[in-house]
């Protein structure tokens, strides 16, 4: 989707990408909070190491959505 946003300077798709970013950011915060507060570990659903690894997997996904968001914002501001 991001490639189409930038290649076509598609503002409609850029706005959709912004919405996707907001949903992803909310979901990421919810997952991180759940892991940090130890809800899953306290219930015996995962080990501390598994919780750390899980959060380590989320971080690159968050970075990717942040970069996509930056590009979408540039398209919406007519800077690309």
- Token pair 């959060």: residue: 55
Nearest to 21 by CA among 66, 60, 77: 66
Please state, in angstroms and rounded to a whole number, the distance separating the CA atoms of residues 50 and 60: 17
Residue partners of 48: CB distance under 8 A and separation at least 6: 41
Nearest to 31 by CA among 20, 21, 40: 40
pTM across the whole model:
0.75
pLDDT digit string, tens, across residues 28-78: 888 888 776 766 767 777 787 887 888 888 889 889 999 999 999 999 999
Nearest to 31 by CA among 53, 58, 50: 58
């Amino acid at each position: 989707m991001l490639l189409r946003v930038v290649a076509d300077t598609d503002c409609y798709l850029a706005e959709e990408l912004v919405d996707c970013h907001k949903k992803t950011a909310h979901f990421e915060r919810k997952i991180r909070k759940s892991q940090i507060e130890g809800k899953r570990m306290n219930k015996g659903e995962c080990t501390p190491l598994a919780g750390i690894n899980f959060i380590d997997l989320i971080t690159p996904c968050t970075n990717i959505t942040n970069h996509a968001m930056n590009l979408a914002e540039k398209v919406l501001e007519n800077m690309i």
